[in-house]
Amino acid sequence: MLETFSVEFSGVLFVVSSIKAKVEVKDLTRVERIGAHSHIRGLGLNDLLEARLNSEGMVGQEEARRAAGMICEMIKEGKIAGRAVLIAGQPGTGKTAIAMAMAQSLGHDTPFTSISASEIFSLEMSRTEALTHAFRRSIGVRIKEEAEVIEGEVVEIQIDRPVCGSGSKVGKLTMKTTEMETIYDLGAKMIESLTKEKVQEGDVIHIDKLTGRISKLGRSFSRARDFDATAANTRFVSCPEGELQKHKEVVHTVSLHEIDVINSRHQGFLALFSGETGEIKPEVRDQIDAKIAEWCLEKKAELVPGVLFIDEVHMLDLECFSFLNRALENKMAPILVMATNRGITKVRGTNYKSPHGMPLDLLDRLLIITTRPYTNDEIRLILSIRCEEEDVKMESAALDVLAKISAETSLRYGIQLITTASIICYRRNDEAVSVSDVERVYSLFVDEARSTQFLREYQNDFLGDENVLDGDMVMATQ
- Give pLDDT, residue 14: 45
Whether the pLDDT of residue 379 is over 80: the answer is yes
Confidence band for 128, pLDDT divided at 50, 70 and 90? confident
Task: Report which DSSP code applies to 470.
Answer: G
- Give pLDDT, residue 5: 46
What CA–CA distance (Å, rounded) separates 282 from 264?
A: 10
List pLDDT tens digits, range 388-446.
Answer: 888 888 888 999 999 999 888 888 888 888 888 888 888 888 888 888 989 999 999 98
Among 26-35, 340-349, 361-370, 376-385, which stretch is predicted with the lowest mean pLDDT? Answer: 26-35
Q: State the CATH number of the domain containing residue 437.
A: 1.10.8.60
Q: How many helices (H) and strands (E) does the chain have?
A: 14, 19
Tally of domains in the chain: 1
Whether the pLDDT of residue 332 is over 60: the answer is yes
List pLDDT tens digits, range 82-105.
Answer: 688 899 988 888 888 888 888 888
SS3 of residue 103 by DSSP? helix
* Helix (H) or strand (E) segment spanning residue 22: none
Whether the pLDDT of residue 35 is over 70: the answer is no
- Give pLDDT, residue 265: 66
The answer to whether residue 383 is domain-embedded is yes
Among 321-325, 375-379, 426-430, 461-465, which stretch is predicted with the lowest mean pLDDT? Answer: 461-465
The answer to whether residue 473 is domain-embedded is no
Task: Report which DSSP code applies to 209.
Answer: T
CA 305, 308, 313 angle in degrees (round to 5)?
Answer: 150
What CA–CA distance (Å, rounded) separates 337 from 87?
A: 7
- Give pLDDT, residue 79: 63
List pLDDT tens digits, range 174-213.
Answer: 888 888 888 888 888 888 888 888 888 888 888 887 777 8
Whether the pLDDT of residue 363 is over 70: the answer is yes
- Largest Cα span, the chain: 101
List pLDDT tens digits, range 256-281.
Answer: 888 888 877 654 444 444 455 567 88
Section 274-300 average pLDDT: 79
- Give pLDDT, residue 259: 83
The answer to whether residue 3 is domain-embedded is no
The answer to whether residue 426 is domain-embedded is yes
pTM higher than the cut 0.95:
no
Confidence band for 285, pLDDT divided at 50, 70 and 90? confident
Among 41, 95, 53, smallest CA distance to 373 is for 95
Range of the domain at 390: 376-457
Confidence band for 127, pLDDT divided at 50, 70 and 90? confident
What CA–CA distance (Å, rounded) separates 102 from 117?
A: 19
Show Cβ contacts of residue 355 under 8 Å, excluding neighbours closer than 6 positions.
343, 344, 363
The answer to whether residue 392 is domain-embedded is yes
The answer to whether residue 411 is domain-embedded is yes
What CA–CA distance (Å, rounded) separates 176 from 309?
A: 48
Among 35-49, 263-277, 324-338, which stretch is predicted with the lowest mean pLDDT? Answer: 263-277
- Pairing type for strands 245-255 and 139-160 reads antiparallel
List pLDDT tens digits, range 47-85.
Answer: 887 878 777 778 888 888 888 888 888 877 766 666 888
- Pairing type for strands 54-55 and 353-355 reads unpaired
Show Cβ contacts of residue 49 under 8 Å, excluding neighbours closer than 6 positions.
66, 69, 70, 73
Task: Report which DSSP code applies to 41.
Answer: -
Whether the pLDDT of residue 463 is over 80: the answer is no
Confidence band for 245, pLDDT divided at 50, 70 and 90? confident
Whether the pLDDT of residue 474 is over 80: the answer is no
